[in-house]
Amino acid sequence: MNTPEHYWQDVLFFFDGKPWALPLYEALFTRMEEAFPEASVKVQKSQISFCGRHLFAAASLPLRRKKTWPTESLMVTLGLPEKLESSRVAVATEPYPGRWTHHILVTAPEEIDGELLAWLRQAYEFAESKR
């Protein structure tokens, strides 16, 4: 995976004060690096973005929590052409026709499993199919 020069320093700064979140992100990054070696990753102010030609996924810390959400979770966001019908999806919105944004809360490294990676693969292919 293509990373900027100061990537890991930026990651540490992003998760500063949230030591529980760093292992979740590291597990996600490891799986993403294996699945998408051609992709790039960029740490931004509010999220860590994964891109091919276009953004296809992001990791962030939930800012607005529902009362039922766990207090310590990493949010994985991805876009698909249809709505996922899964209890793992915390929030799904259709910002415009044929584009669904899904937010999935991850609370343990083992939740970064084959199902989540399959959704990320679909999101990558969907993003790459755009002009």
Is there a contact between 47 and 62 (Cβ–Cβ < 8 Å)? no
* The model's pTM: 0.94
Q: DSSP assignment, residue 4? A: -
Indicate the domain borders of the chain.
7-128
Task: List, in sequence order, every residue forming a beta bridge with 2; answer none if it has no partner.
Answer: 40
- Residue 35: its H or E element: helix 21-35
- The two beta strands, 89-96 and 74-80, are unpaired
* Residues 6+ away with beta carbon under 8 Å from 29: 1, 41
pLDDT in tens, 3-56: 999 999 999 999 999 999 999 999 999 999 999 999 999 999 999 999 999 999
